[in-house]
Amino acid sequence: MGRTEYCNDPSAPKADTLIPASNLLVADETGAILLQRRRGTGQWALPGGAQGIGETAAECAVRKCLEETGIIAELTEFLGVYTNPNYIVVQPADFDQYDIHPSMRQQIGDYLAGTYPCLG
């Protein structure tokens, strides 16, 4: 059974753990964004995951991209720090055709709109 994820859901259980994680938004020269389908939920998401002990956020993002997609990525810009679980985000209409992981929607939207880095 896959994990259950909550986004802005008042019925969600109270958090009892904080796990630092990093994602990497990879775009090619045409502007296409690399997404990977999550095994647990089937949703599209940016490559990323939990940060290891002794690892920087940047190292984590590059490592997770390689592990999940086989692509060796290079950091060129800082997209932001996304920490507020109560963000309400309206995405461009073409996002609606994809079941994108809720925590990734804002990151992709900010990148497309050029409204980064986000520090909140």
Longest Cα–Cα distance in the chain = 42
> Radius of gyration (Cα) for the chain, nearest Å?
14
CA–CA distance, 56 with 114 (Å, rounded to integer): 25
Where are the alpha helices (H) located in the chain, listed in sequence order?
57-69, 102-113
pLDDT, residue 3, reads 52
Exposure on the CB side of residue 106, measured as CA atoms within 13 A: 18
Asked if the structure places residue 1 within a domain, the reply is: no
Return per-residue pLDDT of the chain as tens, 120 residues: 345 666 787 877 676 666 788 999 999 999 999 999 887 678 899 999 889 999 999 999 999 999 999 999 988 988 887 775 543 333 345 666 778 887 788 888 888 877 777 666
CATH of the domain at 64: 3.90.79.10
Asked if the structure places residue 5 within a domain, the reply is: no
Asked if the structure places residue 113 within a domain, the reply is: yes
Q: 101, 93 in Cβ contact below 8 A?
A: no
Domain that holds residue 99: 21-119
pLDDT, residue 85, reads 59
Asked if the structure places residue 9 within a domain, the reply is: no
Q: What is the pTM of this model?
A: 0.67
By C-alpha distance, which of 1, 2, 8 is closest to 103? Answer: 8
Asked if the structure places residue 92 within a domain, the reply is: yes
pLDDT, residue 87, reads 34
Asked if the structure places residue 2 within a domain, the reply is: no
Residue type, 52: G
Asked if the structure places residue 10 within a domain, the reply is: no
